[in-house]
């Protein structure tokens, strides 16, 4: 009887076209839609090259927001607090904070004596 590798999903996400997770793919599609709006505007004023550049930049920004995690580092204050979180999670936390002006944190370590 032979051994077989069982494919695992990382954090409950499958991969699409090798590089995309579902969130990264959706972020890229949203970026493409926004970029297509800019492309149509610039094409209407006879500047389609600028429109294609905006389309590519918006798609790249959408991919980064959906796919990339911030690294945890002690050198920068921002990376100490937000390290290990996805960029889209940080954006959601920012809008929730602006709405309520409150942040709730929970200590997993328990009570220290």
Q: Directed axis angle between helix 48-67 and helix 87-100, to 10°?
A: 80
Range of the domain at 56: 9-68
The predicted structure's pLDDT at residue 9: 54
pTM over the 0.75 mark: no
* Domain-embedded: residue 110: no
Considering the domain architecture, whether residues 47 and 82 belong to the same structural domain is answered as no
Contact 98, 111 (CB under 8 A): no
Considering the domain architecture, whether residues 14 and 59 belong to the same structural domain is answered as yes
The predicted structure's pLDDT at residue 106: 63
Considering the domain architecture, whether residues 13 and 63 belong to the same structural domain is answered as yes
The predicted structure's pLDDT at residue 103: 65
* Domain-embedded: residue 1: no
Query: Burial, 55: exposed, middle or buried (Cβ in 10 Å; 0-12, 13-18, 19+)?
Result: buried
* Domain-embedded: residue 113: no
Tokens of 38: 């800019």
Considering the domain architecture, whether residues 78 and 58 belong to the same structural domain is answered as no
The predicted structure's pLDDT at residue 30: 92
Considering the domain architecture, whether residues 89 and 53 belong to the same structural domain is answered as no
Instruction: List average pLDDT for each run of 10 residues in the chain, which is 113 residues long.
Output: 64 64 86 93 92 92 85 70 76 82 64 53
């Amino acid at each position: 009887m032979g051994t077989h590798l069982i494919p695992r999903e990382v954090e409950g996400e499958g991969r699409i076209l090798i590089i995309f997770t579902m969130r990264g793919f959706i972020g890229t599609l949203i970026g493409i839609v926004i970029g297509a709006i800019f492309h149509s505007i610039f094409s209407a004023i006879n500047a389609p090259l600028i429109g294609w550049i905006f389309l590519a930049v918006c798609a790249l920004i959408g991919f980064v927001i959906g796919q990339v995690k911030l690294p945890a580092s002690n050198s920068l204050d921002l990376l100490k607090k937000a390290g290990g979180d996805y960029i889209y999670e940080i954006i959601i936390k920012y809008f929730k904070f602006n709405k309520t002006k409150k942040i709730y944190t929970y200590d997993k370590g328990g009570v220290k004596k």
